[in-house]
Amino acid sequence: MNETLHSNTFKAAVAVEPSRTEIQTFDRPATTALTGLLRVAITGVWGSGGPYYRALPQSRGPLIPGHETVGHIEEAGELAKARWGLKEGDYVALEEYVPCGHREYCLSNEFRLCNATDWRLNGLRYGATGLRTAPSFWGGFGQYQYLQLNTVFHCVPSSVAPKYAALALPLGNGIEWAYLQGGAGPGQAVVIQGPGQQGLSCVVAAREAGAKKLSSPAFRLKRTGSDSNLQKDSVPIIRSRPIRKTCLNASPVSREVRWLTS
């Protein structure tokens, strides 16, 4: 997908059926006063990508996956630019949610809870909307991605490489879960279950919030080396027994956590 852009066509990876992808060629969509086009630099993958890939082509038809997208504004209509406060060439990371923009949750900045973003209710969401919903190009696994008027953007500093900017959503989740919702703060001990990018993002957020001890099964696993700088502030939560076996004989609270997290 590195061919010269600015042509009348572009390529995208289409999930045509569960667990099967094809590279297809599309006509480049025209923008209107209310829409735009993103030139994709990179799109990340996280835990929901697998279930999406297996389930959504069956429930929503063929689609272009990818919802952790970073790129540059290629084109934008005048009204869209005024609404977004952006211009052609701006470097941005997208939220996956496409909210309605005018109901209670959107007005309180909790747009993720807006029913218009819920693909299970046939709502719009980047990476989870089928080709049959015009103009079809709702995912980041392509050279271009359509930008709807209610798109939520985050401007990215030019010094941040795309491969790092693609971590914006996982890092945002870590701050949300560990700090804003979890209340991590100075001197606290924080337990984080799970070794993926979301769990490691929670570790980063808790450490930056001042937590004294960060305990996670993540650090018992050999990963790609990305967690090596985090281990100095952590202690393993489980030393010799599997977490499932430990929780079976633990307190009612621990058993409840086990039930909720399977």
Question: What pLDDT score does 236 carry?
Answer: 45
pLDDT given at position 212 = 81
- pLDDT of 161 reads 97
| Digit-coded pLDDT (tens) for 11-33 | 999 999 988 999 999 999 889 99
pLDDT at residue 9 is higher than 90: yes
The answer to whether residue 129 scores a pLDDT higher than 60 is: yes
Could you tell me the strand order of the sheet in which 68-76 lies? 144-147, 36-44, 68-76, 91-94, 153-155
| pLDDT tens readout for residues 233-247 | 554 444 434 555 555
Q: How far is CA 118 from CA 88, 113, 123, 125, 251, in A?
A: 29, 8, 5, 7, 36
Candidates 76, 72, 75, 74; CA nearest to 91 is 72
pLDDT exceeds cutoff 50 at 128: yes
What pLDDT is attached to residue 190?
Answer: 86
Above 70 in pLDDT, residue 50? yes
Q: Is pLDDT above 90 for 35?
A: yes
Chain mean pLDDT for the chain: 83
- At residue 241, the pLDDT reads 47
pLDDT in the model for residue 239: 40
Phi, psi of 189 (to 5 degrees): -105, 130
Condensed to tens digits (0 to 9), the pLDDT of residues 173-209 reads 899 999 999 999 998 888 887 767 888 888 889 989 9
113 burial level (CB within 10 Å; 0-12, 13-18, 19+):
middle
The distance of Cα 109 from the centroid of its chain, to the nearest Å, equals 17
User: Rounded distance, CA 220 to CA 47, Å?
Assistant: 20
Q: pLDDT by residue (tens digit) across 62-79?
A: 999 999 999 999 999 999
pLDDT of residue 139: 95
Of 202, 204, 235, 200, nearest to 220 (Cα)?
A: 235
Query: Which of residues 119 and 156 earns the better pLDDT score?
Result: 156
